[in-house]
Amino acid sequence: MNAAASAVVKEIPDLCIAYGVSDEYSFIFHKTTTLFDRRSSKLLSTIVSTFTAFYIHLWGVHFPPNIALQPPHLPTFDARAICYPTLANLRDYLSWRQVDCHINNLYNTTFWAMRQKGGMGPREVEEELKGTLASDKNEILWGRFGINYNDEKEIFKKGSVVFCQYELEEPAEGRADTLALEEDGASTAVPDTEPSKTQKERAKKVRAKASVVVRHIDIIKDDFWERRPWISSGKPGKPLAVEDQ
């Protein structure tokens, strides 16, 4: 899934970030994209077909020959397009997805520990976990099985974030390409001037050279967005030195 998502982000430079958990991936176009004249049907069909193509193409890289793709069990994916009006709305959506990742993973980690290590039946486990809080599940994992949930791999706790990597920036106040939050909770974005044709071509070349990375990090806190302003601005950042990539 991550390899296919990375290929999609590399193939379609108008994408600014993608986030994936389990068998679901979200691909985000910047609000200023003009790809396919912003026709949702074209954007949707291009994303889902490109993802499926790379998923099938890369299958043999990640699985042995004896687990080949064969009908009737070939991978297919459905998709839907949603338009979020502001960066704040988008961040809320992505934050919800990452929180949901943690909640589901903590439940599943506890469920299967009780099944596989505790020898309990599925209904018995479901009944005991019904209505429990995160602290209760952590206590079950540690108290019964010696499992520290904090030691679980970040990919399972936080999901996968895919984006083009540039040189990280130090957060700065008053940055023109970040979201301005008003006192009443409303949000506005400082408008950008239309780039020239030369600037567009230069940006296209910079994007083409950028590495697409997969990270399992917190995207809820401001730090992620402030240190990677190119994601919210839609403008490529400063290229990394070769040794940094």
Lowest-confidence region among 118-132, 165-179, 199-213: 165-179
Pairwise pLDDT comparison (192 vs 147), residue with the higher score? 147
Pairwise pLDDT comparison (128 vs 209), residue with the higher score? 128
| 134 and 110 Cβ atoms separated by less than 8 Å | no
Is the pLDDT at 144 greater than 50? The verdict is: yes
Tell me, what's the pLDDT at 181?
Answer: 40
Average pLDDT of the chain?
Answer: 89
For residues 198 and 224, give the distance between their C-alpha atoms in angstroms, rounded to a whole number: 30
Rounded (to 5) percent helix, strand, coil in the chain: 50, 10, 40
- Average pLDDT score over residue span 16-43: 95
pLDDT class of 242 with cuts at 50, 70, 90: low
Domain locations in the chain? 1-83+159-171+208-244, 85-156
| 189 and 195 Cβ atoms separated by less than 8 Å | no
DSSP 90: H
Q: Give CA separation, 141 vs 132, 154, 230, in Å.
A: 13, 17, 40
Is the pLDDT at 235 greater than 60? The verdict is: yes
Q: What's the pTM value of the predicted model, to 2 decimals?
A: 0.86
- The beta strand positions in 109-203, using DSSP E, are 160-165, 179-181, 187-189
pLDDT class of 193 with cuts at 50, 70, 90: low
pLDDT class of 171 with cuts at 50, 70, 90: confident
pLDDT class of 183 with cuts at 50, 70, 90: very low
Contacts of 10 (CB under 8 A, 6+ apart): 212
- Average pLDDT score over residue span 16-35: 95
- Average pLDDT score over residue span 129-156: 97
User: Which is nearest to 80 in space by CA: 37, 48, 39?
Assistant: 48
pLDDT class of 192 with cuts at 50, 70, 90: low
Tell me, what's the pLDDT at 1?
Answer: 97
Per the structure block, which two tokens stand in for 19? Answer: 């986030």
Is the pLDDT at 78 greater than 60? The verdict is: yes
Lowest-confidence region among 203-207, 213-217, 227-231: 203-207
- Average pLDDT score over residue span 10-17: 94
Tell me, what's the pLDDT at 28?
Answer: 97
